[in-house]
Amino acid sequence: AKKNPNEPEFMQAVHEVAETVIPFIEENKKYQNKMLLERMVESERIIMFRVVWIDDLGNTQVNRGYRIQMNSAIGPYKGGIRFHPSVNLSILKFLAFEQTFKNSLTTLPMGGGKGGADFDPKGKSENEVMRFCQAFMTELSRHIGADTDVPAGDIGVGGREVGYMFGQYKRLRNEFTGVLTGKGISFGGSLIRPEATGYGAVYFSQSMLATKKENIAGKTIVVSGSGNVAQYAVEKATQLGAKVVTMSDSSGYIYDAEGIDAIKLSHIMEIKNELRGRIGDYLNKYPNAKYVAGKRPWEVKCDVALPCATQNELNEDDAKALVANGCICVTEGANMPSTPEAVIVFQKAKLLFAPGKASNAGGVATSGLEMSQNSLRLSWTAEEVDERLKSIMLNIHASCVKYGKDKTGYIDYVKGANIAGFVKVADAMLAQGVV
């Protein structure tokens, strides 16, 4: 804490890992030397830079850009870019730290990184977003590359922003390489990448439920968020026969007792992705639904909860409400959406709880598949990518069970994910010497 003042999210993420990994290290001599854990919590490199751009009124605007290059032991740095006014060093370091373990869990050769800027895309014109992305990439381009560091999307960065950043990278470097993932299909993107995080979280939920001989079909599901991850989690859960009754954004949540089916979801996608509107606009078309302003959906009765918006969006009281309402499974689609106190509530109640670094790894895994396709200069079919995604999620689940199952049969997915993620990175670091 002394070394990283004012970085509560980073400390939170490190604590959570240390709690489960330190006892494992104590039992395994091999990992006790060469300051392994101390090296893992220290970013290999942090780049902070000025991003200057001109808004539509001709005013000069200044933002702060970042790239955290956390760990490259098992592959080039890999992790998304976030554009949100809350972005700061602490949040990006927590995300880059988590990413290192997550990428290790996918079994693909990707190190950990994360980046972003405190730019708020809300209310900006198309041209302003483009100029910002170009200004951001003008500096970032010096620090990344297909074999060095391969960024992707995250909150506030979707296909549109990745496209603008890719265009600028290509213009500056005069090379067409797989330097970013989440690209459009016409210029090297992978089928299923937009869907992958949400789909993967639902596949992971299926595996979790199967350990209790339960099935996702017929379950009532509460989802938070209405962005990329939430949209495709809802799509896949609905396809598999579940009923999703809520979605949300930073203003509030909608509750539709009849379920958000495929047609209703396509309306939400139009509101959020094209009109760039608010989730409450849903009621203009579906007035039977309810809109609850300023709240998160955890008070709604459900069997399964999928938090898919942002960090620390589900606190201890929310967790208690979910448990009291009979929820049996919480699968994180977002990164660290549950506070540490909420996780304790879930684990004490012995419900199925998966941390984002395991259950939302489908996105980066599919980004890894995009990198492979770019290197091979070919593209796989949607079915092929989806099959690989499913098997990667099954493997991650198996790793969590391997390291997280206790004598009573309870699976501690937090412990399992942390140890399984740690082992691969630690082995690679030990083999590469003290660097």
Phi, psi for 65 (deg, rounded to 5): -105, 155
Q: Is 153 in the site for ligand NDP (CB under 6 A)?
A: yes
**Across 250-333, where does the E strand assignment appear?**
252-255, 290-293, 304-307, 329-331
Q: Which stretch binds ligand NDP (CB under 6 A): 204-212, 307-315, 345-353, 420-428?
A: 307-315
Closest to ligand NDP by CB, 91 vs 429, is 91
Residue type, 366: T
Cα angle 19, 23, 27 (rounded to 5 degrees) comes to: 165
Closest to ligand NDP by CB, 159 vs 259, is 159
Closest to ligand NDP by CB, 299 vs 427, is 299
Alpha carbon separation from 433 to 34, 35, 36, 430 (Å, rounded): 9, 11, 11, 5
CA distance 65 to 46: 11
CA distance 297 to 225: 10
Angular region, 116: left φ>0, alpha ψ -120 to 50, beta rest: left
Total residues at interface with ligand NDP (CB under 6 A): 24
84 three-class SS: coil
- Cα torsion at 88, 18, 147, 365 (round to 10°)? -90
Q: Is 338 in the site for ligand NDP (CB under 6 A)?
A: no
Closest to ligand NDP by CB, 303 vs 313, is 313
Alpha carbon separation from 63 to 58, 84, 144, 163 (Å, rounded): 16, 11, 20, 20
* Beta-ladder partners of 244: 221
Q: Is 220 in the site for ligand NDP (CB under 6 A)?
A: no
Q: Is 188 in the site for ligand NDP (CB under 6 A)?
A: no
Closest to ligand NDP by CB, 214 vs 332, is 332
Among 65, 76, 225, 297, binds ligand NDP (CB under 6 A): 225
Question: Considering the complex, what minimum distance in angstroms separates the CB of residue 403 from ligand NDP?
Answer: 21
Among 156, 297, 368, 416, binds ligand NDP (CB under 6 A): 156
Task: Classify residue 379 by its DSSP letter.
Answer: -
Closest to ligand NDP by CB, 37 vs 200, is 200
307 three-class SS: strand
Question: Considering the complex, what minimum distance in angstroms separates the CB of residue 212 from ligand NDP?
Answer: 25
Give helix 8-27 / helix 413-431 axis angle, nearest 10°: 80
- 328, 303 in Cβ contact below 8 A? yes
Among 163, 227, 355, 421, binds ligand NDP (CB under 6 A): 227
Interface positions, 359-378, toward ligand NDP (CB under 6 A): 360, 363
Question: Considering the complex, what minimum distance in angstroms separates the CB of residue 121 from ligand NDP?
Answer: 8
**Hey, which residues are catalytic here?**
114
User: What is the per-residue DSSP string for 315-368?
Assistant: -HHHHHHHHHTT--EEE--SSS-B-HHHHHHHHHTT-EEE-HHHHTTHHHHHHH
Q: Is 154 in the site for ligand NDP (CB under 6 A)?
A: yes
Q: Is 244 in the site for ligand NDP (CB under 6 A)?
A: no
Site string for ligand NDP, 157-176 (x = CB under 6 A): -x------------------
Among 20, 310, 339, 373, binds ligand NDP (CB under 6 A): 310
Closest to ligand NDP by CB, 115 vs 363, is 363
Question: Considering the complex, what minimum distance in angstroms separates the CB of residue 276 from ligand NDP?
Answer: 9
Closest to ligand NDP by CB, 55 vs 120, is 120
Q: Which stretch binds ligand NDP (CB under 6 A): 15-23, 61-69, 303-311, 391-399?
A: 303-311
Query: Residue 113's Cα: distance from chain center in Å?
Result: 12
Q: Is 106 in the site for ligand NDP (CB under 6 A)?
A: no
Question: Considering the complex, what minimum distance in angstroms separates the CB of residue 225 from ligand NDP?
Answer: 4
Q: Is 81 in the site for ligand NDP (CB under 6 A)?
A: no
Query: Residue 199's Cα: distance from chain center in Å?
Result: 12
Q: Is 103 in the site for ligand NDP (CB under 6 A)?
A: no
State how beta strands 45-54 and 220-224 pair: unpaired
Among 191, 229, 268, 414, binds ligand NDP (CB under 6 A): 229
Positive or negative CA dihedral for 209, 215, 218, 223?
Answer: positive
**Interaction site with ligand NDP (CB under 6 A):** 153-156, 158, 197, 225-230, 249-251, 308-310, 313, 333-335, 360, 363
